[in-house]
Chain A
Amino acid sequence: MRGRLSALVMILGGVAFLFGAADAMSAESPLIDGEGVQIVNAQCGVCHSLALVAQNRADRAGWRALIRWMQDKHGLWPLGEFEAPILDYLETHYAPAAVGRRRPLAPALMPELSTGEKR
């Protein structure tokens, strides 16, 4: 897999970027485990942090639009046979939740109701 990715990177002229990509590939991913996660790690992690994937939420059409935007503007290659399993994975694990006009404060910002000082 790494050889294949290295070839891709070089085709794109990103030789200087090879080491970063290799680092990202050989280490643990922040993405939720599930069917297709390795394809997402391999294809998406070449250029950018996988944390960028993990912090976003979209439906299938939204993820597809993001892929098209990266292909139009940022040199992403055609994903071919990988596109469908990537979209399957993303719409399963990173779908938007309906939150309405304003969501509650994040759990990390809430008081603990136990006794004593929180921090």
Chain B
Amino acid sequence: MTDKADHSSGISRRALLNRGLASAAMMAVTSALVPASGSRASGGPPVATPKHKEMRLLSDRPLNMEAPAHLLDTAVTEADRLFVRNNGLMPVNPNSASWELLIDGESVTSPTSFTLDQLRSAFEVISLQITLECGGNGRSEFDPPAPGNQWTTGAVGCPKWTGVRLRDVLEKVGIRDDAVYIGYYGSDTHLSGDPNKVPISRGVPMHKALEPETLLAFAMNDAPIPIEHGYPLRLVVGGWPGSVCGKWLERIQVRNKVHDGPKMTGNAYRVPCEPVARGSQVADDAMCIIESMPVKSLITTPRSGMLCSVGDTLRVGGFAWAGDDAVDSVDISADFGVTWTRAALEKPVNRFAWQRFNYALPLKKTGYFEVWAKATDQSGRSQPMVVPGWNPKGYLNNACHRIAIQVV
């Protein structure tokens, strides 16, 4: 198999086979789901980004992939290493020229549709770097296990998004004083094939929808958004679970009550309103909607498993983010949490962008070491060293990231 053939499926077949995750069935279906690579500049149909060969495929139907930590060592996450979290099947060849976004709902005075050109020309276009993290990132660590995709640490990234403010569009359309929540609808389809089933339709309260950083985005990293990330239009809402950022966006309803679309209700994207012991049964009415994600950090260099030389100084670096808050500090331990030392921390380029940290670790002794990172937000909340509160669906694991090195 040539490298070119590898890329035509959008992901490296060899890498998958090496990981023992792939079967012929997965290959066949993944090839069908991830359109062949081609030139965007030609104006042809949208194409999926060929994903980096080290991306970890969790499921091909629906498509779900995460990045090993060391792939995320760039300030702006490239498309080939941004995690993919799909609930349904992606639309096939959506047409950006005829694409329309409908704004309607109980609290809209006059329902209005916009083409993408109308959005671009009628409203100020802005670019922001906004961190997206799946609410279930880290789910694989819960005990007893929580059902769903078993994300480790890689369902996070911070690309640059370009679009218009949702606030500007809603103000132009006109919303009533009784508005409570927005709910999005996209053009993805349910796994069962039932055309009457919506795979996912979530949203945020009005105060979040009207924040100046909440975008209707039509570009990612200065290119059209890749199909698996929502081409041609998606919501980008900073600091909350990625699932509020609806992809392949066709419709936003402004609701006069908390939105009740699929995966807003029951126990989806909810955690127990009060903490529970591991393995507890929790009734749906005792589950509360996740809002801001918690403070978290990721060591992106070196990659875990490095052999290092004694006497050297090891550069430990990565990123930290804090949901609606900002990161105040990042501390590093190389002795299992016995001592912590403060890393250098950069300011975010804008609200909701992750923040680079750097630390020079002197390697004074030989042996096995784990390097742990612990971020603290501006409200004084830190990452726990063990897995935080168990919850039935396995959300919000922000335990400190650990990598291993051997000093020889």
Where the two chains meet, the residues of A that have a C-beta atom closer than 8 Å to any C-beta of B are 9, 12-17, 19-20, 23-30, 45, 47-52, 55-59, 62, 66, 69, 73-76, 96, 98-103, 105-106, 108-113, 116-119
Contacts and interface: CB of A to CB of B under 8 A. Distances in A.
Nearest to B59: A49
A16 B143 CA distance: 38
Contacts of B194: 12-14, 75
Contacts, number: 146
B25 A45 contact: yes
Interface string B119-159: 00000000000000000000001011101111010000000
Nearest to B266: A73
Contacts of B21: 30, 51
B141 A102 contact: yes
Nearest to B370: A105
Given A30-B26, A51-B58, A111-B405, A58 B193 contact: no
Interface in B274-309: 303-307
A113 B307 CA distance: 8
A55 B406 contact: no
B191 interface: yes
B29 interface: yes
B144 A96 contact: yes
B404 A14 contact: no
B104 interface: no
Specify which of B32, B193, B196, B197 lies most central, judged by the most chain A CB atoms within 10 Å of its CB.
B193
A117 B24 CA distance: 33
B150 A55 contact: yes
B28 interface: yes
Nearest to A20: B29
Interface residues of B, number: 51
Nearest to A29: B23
A56 B147 contact: yes
Contact of B25 (A12, A27, A62, A113): A27
A109 B404 contact: yes
A110 B25 CA distance: 31
Contacts of A109: 304-305, 403-404
B59 A15 contact: no
A101 B386 contact: yes
Contact residues of B: prevailing secondary structure = loop
A116 to B, nearest CB: 8
Contacts of B266: 73
A49 B387 contact: no
Shortest beta-carbon contacts, A-B, top 9:
A14-B193, A111-B406, A27-B25, A17-B193, A109-B304, A75-B192, A27-B24, A49-B59, A49-B61
A58 B403 contact: no
Contact of A13 (B23, B25, B27, B193): B193
A102 B386 contact: yes
A51 B386 CA distance: 28
B44 interface: no
B217 to A, nearest CB: 28
B195 interface: yes
A114 to B, nearest CB: 9
A19 to B, nearest CB: 8
B145 A13 contact: no
B225 interface: no
A28 B29 CA distance: 12
B32 A20 contact: yes
A57 to B, nearest CB: 4
B62 interface: yes
B200 to A, nearest CB: 11
B25 A118 contact: no
Contact of B404 (A29, A52, A105): A105
16 contacts: A20-B29, A26-B25, A27-B24, A27-B25, A28-B23, A30-B25, A30-B26, A51-B58, A55-B149, A56-B148, A58-B144, A58-B145, A74-B192, A76-B192, A109-B305, A110-B304
Contacts of A99: 143
B7 interface: no
A102 B387 contact: yes
B53 interface: no
B399 interface: yes
Given A24-B28, A27-B25, A102-B385, 9 more contacts: A12-B192, A23-B28, A49-B61, A56-B145, A69-B147, A106-B152, A109-B403, A110-B305, A111-B305
A50 B193 contact: no
A51 B62 CA distance: 10
B214 to A, nearest CB: 28
